[in-house]
């Protein structure tokens, strides 16, 4: 069993390293990521499956192995019928987690573990702790094929300066990288809105300690003027779930996006196996709830399973809880889901609350009938 202690999957501004990305026309990427599943899932079957998805979860991450047998029933055609999601790196609808050599087009070994991250996160958001323990936490919501996956690939970052090459050198200034970072995430949010996402998980972030004071202020300005509106106004119908980060520090102003606060955002910290705040997890007043993020069983590319640790794993478990809430009560708004998750969380210590599946879903079941009208499904 693979055991990976994986920090928050992060952008270059927080010091992560990633090989360069180039997707020239006609390279082998499209063969490796071909969406045609032949006899396993026909075009007609895929359209019918897409129509059956009642709740849609966007995963803004490193792509997903959509050929994994346990994820196939959650595949959905995007509205342009060009694939299963959006790959901002490859500029297509096939967000498959591979890295290519810029000269040969051959696949590069994933020495940073980034490729596994998006598949693992996606599986937790869709399947939750049932990957590990049947009917975990005493909750009994049969999701079947009713949850749809909207994968949006933004990691590892592209070859135009957003990535850090192996030497650690950056090819663009911090200012230009900040602009590009916000633009990429804004585009991701726009796509999630267009595809009708109900929940969006972002297990990624920027550590302000890795930035110059000048750039920290500039990024903060970009986020507050552009990105915040994108989430809180344009995306008001979506519940955004953010990982708190794994630097073992207080989440403060400048941690992006974990520090963003709106009626439709939740920031999630991680507990260890002893139900205490994990030693790697960020914490503080800006963290809304905690849930176990240590040694969490999930799916990996190639039809595999494995364990990972981090707030990256905690966040999609809360996204999974929100998806189940939306299945039970289609008329719940994003802000109402946020409020219920926080209200039903159990106090651990002062200002530390632990998200609970059974109690939250029981509270949803007890809601008046107007929250459960089928007309609210979209």
Top CATH class, 3-376:
alpha beta
The answer to whether 155 and 110 have CB atoms below 8 angstroms apart is no
Q: Which of 39, 111, 48 is nearest to 75 (CA)?
A: 48
The pLDDT tens digits of the residues spanning 29-66 come to 344 444 444 334 566 778 888 888 999 999 999 889 88
> Residue 225 and residue 175: Cα distance in Å, rounded?
15
- Write out the two tokens for 159: 């070859």
For residue 52, the SS3 value is helix
Q: Please give the mean pLDDT across all residues of the chain.
A: 80
Q: In terms of DSSP H, where are the helices of 90-201?
A: 114-127, 174-194
The pLDDT tens digits of the residues spanning 117-174 come to 999 999 999 998 666 544 444 456 666 678 999 999 988 754 443 443 333 344 456 7
Measured from the Cβ of residue 69, the count of other Cβ atoms closer than 10 Å reads 10
Tell me the pTM.
0.86
The band of 215, judged by pLDDT with boundaries at 50, 70 and 90, is confident
Helix (H), strand (E) at residue 222: helix 213-222
Phi/psi of residue 321, nearest 5 degrees:
-60, -45
């Amino acid at each position: 069993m693979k055991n990976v202690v994986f920090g928050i999957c992060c952008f270059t501004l927080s010091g992560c390293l990633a090989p360069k990305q180039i997707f020239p026309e006609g390279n082998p990427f499209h063969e490796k990521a071909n969406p045609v599943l032949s006899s396993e899932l026909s075009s007609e079957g895929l359209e019918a499956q897409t129509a059956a998805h009642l709740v849609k979860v966007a995963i803004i991450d490193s792509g997903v192995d959509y050929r994994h047998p346990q994820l196939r029933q959650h595949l959905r055609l995007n509205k342009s019928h060009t694939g299963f999601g959006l790959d901002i790196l490859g500029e297509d609808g096939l967000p498959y987690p591979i890295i290519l050599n810029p000269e040969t087009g051959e696949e590069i070994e994933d020495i940073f573990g980034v490729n596994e991250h998006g598949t693992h996160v996606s599986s937790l958001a869709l399947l939750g702790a049932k990957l590990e323990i049947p009917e975990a936490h005493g909750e009994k919501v049969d999701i079947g094929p009713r949850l749809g996956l909207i994968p949006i690939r933004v990691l590892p970052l592209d070859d135009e300066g957003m990535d850090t090459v192996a030497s650690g050198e950056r090819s663009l200034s911090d200012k230009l990288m900040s602009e590009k970072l916000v633009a990429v995430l804004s585009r991701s949010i726009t796509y999630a809105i267009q595809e009708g996402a109900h929940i969006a998980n972002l297990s990624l972030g920027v550590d302000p300690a890795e930035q110059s004071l000048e750039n920290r202020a500039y990024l903060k300005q970009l986020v507050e003027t552009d990105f915040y509106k994108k989430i809180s106004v344009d995306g008001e119908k979506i519940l955004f779930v953010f990982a708190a980060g794994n630097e073992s520090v207080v989440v403060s102003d400048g941690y992006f996006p974990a520090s963003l606060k709106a009626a439709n955002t939740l920031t999630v910290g991680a507990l260890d196996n002893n139900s205490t705040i994990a030693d790697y997890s960020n914490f503080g007043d800006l963290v809304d709830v905690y849930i176990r993020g240590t040694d969490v069983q999930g799916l990996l590319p190639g039809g595999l399973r494995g364990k990972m640790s981090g707030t990256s794993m905690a966040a999609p478990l809360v996204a999974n809880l929100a998806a189940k809430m939306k299945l039970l009560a289609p008329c719940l708004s994003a802000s109402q889901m946020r409020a219920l998750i926080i209200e039903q969380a159990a106090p651990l210590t002062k200002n530390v609350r632990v998200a609970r599946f059974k109690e939250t879903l029981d509270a949803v079941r007890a809601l008046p009938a107007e929250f459960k009208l089928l007309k609210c499904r979209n």
